[in-house]
Amino acid sequence: MRTLLSLSFVGLICTTAVAGNCPNSRPVQNTSPQRVAYYHPAPPAAASKKSTQADIVDTAVKAGSFKTLVAAVKAAGLVDALKSDGPFTVFAPTDKAFANLPEGTVANLLKPENKKTLQAILKYHVVAGQVAAKDVVKLSKAKTLQGDDVAIAVADGKVKLNDANVVKTDIVCSNGIIHVIDAVILPPEKNQQASTTSSAKADVVDTAVAAGSFKTLVAAVQAAGLVETLKGDGPFTVFAPTDQAFAKLPKGTVEDLLKPENREQLQAILTYHVVPGRVMAADVVKLKSAKTVNGESVSIAVDDGKVRIDEATVVKADIECGNGVIHVIDAVILP
């Protein structure tokens, strides 16, 4: 079972929307009279004279907070592309954003054999043209260099790219603009390259182990003989109770459940926390119930912006794993 982290993977620099004053910029084209729904990049015009500003790559290097991103761009062989005329709009994840990924993810992606996967992820953070923050907020989506669309939403004055938050905007460069984001974002799972990306990430079990806050859950999965199942292809959606959630149970409950004679009962409880398929938070909130691997259905409700699974509250969502996704809950739920 896994912790639901919201992993938005490779996000660079993003947050509100950028004011396009870099050379070679192009305005966003409206697709409806009320609201820009999509960004269609126009071919850049040739610059009349060379800009004295640093390009996107050099700007990221000088900033000092994008070391992992810069290393990834180099490993993916994209340095020359991002130093070219462009213009480009880059949603740049910080080092902290990369650090939030499951342990070992970045190291795996930097391996030569995963170069294509890394390229796909990085290109998913780049949009053709120079789109300033004031124009980003008018969009509902934008096509990336990777080929898939990135979703854009504005709520309570904050801008989100998929599940990443834009934390700084309009860093103007000689060949584009950078918006800083607080998470790495991934291409849609339907995309073959995105599927390859998933395989580079830790599975549900290893993600829970690496998190360190699911020791009881991991011990229960081992005692129930479900390790191999949850390390399988899946995909699985796991509503993962924390150690604190297990500690709320009546004294002696966990110890009893871990006994060999109670293995079937433990299996029933654990599989009640797992739903087949990869169900992200955006889809969970649209449901009233979901059938679990146990066979019974959990109830789902949204109240005051909080999502409840039976009597448990989701405290963290969208922790993506190689074979599924984890949503963290604050209580153990029972069939």
Which positions ≥6 away from 2 have C-beta within 8 Å?
204, 205, 207, 208, 214, 236, 238, 240, 319, 321, 324, 325, 326
Task: Give the whole-angstrom CA distance, residue 38 versus residue 140.
Answer: 6
Q: pLDDT, tens digit, for every residue of 225-245? A: 999 899 888 899 999 999 999
Query: Which pair of tokens denotes residue 142?
Result: 């934008």
Q: What are phi and psi of 148, to 5 degrees?
A: -95, 160
pTM above 0.85, yes or no: no
Task: Give the whole-angstrom CA distance, residue 10 versus residue 72.
Answer: 9
Mean pLDDT of the chain: 82
Place of tokens 């834009």: 166
The answer, yes or no, to whether residue 41 has pLDDT greater than 70, is no
Strand partners, 309: 300, 312
Of 107, 133, 158, 173, which Cα lies nearest the Cα of 17?
133
The answer, yes or no, to whether residue 100 has pLDDT greater than 50, is yes
Host H or E run for residue 144: none
Residue type, 216: T
| DSSP letter, residue 141 | E
Query: Which pair of tokens denotes residue 280?
Result: 């992200």
Using alpha carbons, list the distances in angstroms from residue 62 to 58, 72, 88, 106.
6, 16, 18, 21
Strand partners, 144: 127
Strand partners, 12: 92
Given pLDDT bands bounded at 50, 70 and 90, which one contains residue 53? Answer: confident
Task: Give the whole-angstrom CA distance, residue 266 versus residue 256.
Answer: 9
Average pLDDT (305-313) is: 93
Q: Are 294 and 305 in contact (CB under 8 A)?
A: no
Q: Are 202 and 106 in contact (CB under 8 A)?
A: no
Q: Are 317 and 300 in contact (CB under 8 A)?
A: no
Host H or E run for residue 179: strand 176-181
Q: pLDDT, tens digit, for every residue of 59-96? A: 999 999 999 999 999 999 999 999 998 899 999 999 99
Provide the greatest CA pair distance for the chain.
79
Count CB atoms within 10 A of the CB of residue 189.
15
The answer, yes or no, to whether residue 15 has pLDDT greater than 80, is no
Q: pLDDT, tens digit, for every residue of 27-39? A: 444 444 444 344 4
Burial of 263 per CB tally in 10 Å (0-12, 13-18, 19+): middle
The answer, yes or no, to whether residue 118 has pLDDT greater than 80, is yes
Q: Which of 15-29, 128-142, 170-184 has the lowest mean pLDDT?
A: 15-29
Task: Give the whole-angstrom CA distance, residue 152 versus residue 37.
Answer: 9
Q: Are 176 and 56 in contact (CB under 8 A)?
A: yes
Query: Which pair of tokens denotes residue 243?
Result: 């150690």
The pLDDT, as a whole number, for residue 189 is 58
> Inter-axis angle of helices 204-211 and 215-223, to 10 degrees?
140
